Amino acid sequence: MNDSELELYGIVGRMFREIREEKDLSLTAVSEYLQIAPISLQRYECGERKIKMGTIKKLCVFYKIEYDDFIREAKLRFSKNIFTDASSEKGELPKILQYYETLNDIGKHEATKRVEELTYIPQYVKENTEDSLKVNAAHARTDIEPTSEDQAHDDAIMNDDSEWE
């Protein structure tokens, strides 16, 4: 599992453990319902093991919680972790997330569109992001190491409109 998956499965597992403990249920009782070993359930709850969607659905039924609500909450907690990790480096609170959480579904959709639109305006985009890298040709030469003179020549051809008539 990559780091993001580990974090997501950890969040999902902790959420299920919180629910199990709130309902005062043992690992054994829940694992018997799932027909798995208690250690497997414990590994789910610790985020050490991937939880299949079918198992998540079974747990939601067992705990009498709405699957869609559970997934929405897991996504929200995951996104909070991402924003908190990024902003904590600078000592800032994730204000954008606080504002976003106050919106209804239509507002969230509109906010997402607006933020995406900002990524198309160069003055708001970080330098040298993957999307903003300059492409000089469809294929790079692999037989030689291009010099700056070679690159300048290629750029001159690409910038000469008469080459494209």
In a domain, 37, yes or no: yes
Give the model's pLDDT for residue 138.
55
pLDDT at position 33, please? 96
Query: How many domains in the chain?
Result: 1
The domain that holds 23 is classified in CATH as: 1.10.260.40
For 32-55, what is each residue's pLDDT tens digit?
999 999 999 999 999 889 999 999
pLDDT tens digits, one per residue of 44-96 = 999 889 999 999 999 999 999 999 999 999 988 887 775 555 555 555 546 77
Report the length, in residues, of the chain: 165
pLDDT at 4: 76
Question: What would the pLDDT profile of 112-158 be if each residue is shown by its tens digit?
Answer: 899 889 888 888 888 765 554 455 555 566 777 878 888 888 888 87
Query: Chain centroid to CA 1: how far?
Result: 14
Residue 89 in any domain: the answer is no
Question: Is 130 within the bounds of a domain?
Answer: no
pTM equals: 0.51
Residue 160 lies in a domain: no
15 within domain boundaries:
yes
Structural domain containing residue 25: 3-65
Do the domain assignments include residue 59? yes
Task: Give domain status of residue 21, yes or no.
Answer: yes
**pLDDT for res 132:** 46
pLDDT grade, residue 165 (50/70/90)? low
Residue 142 vs residue 103, higher pLDDT: 103
Is 96 within a domain? no
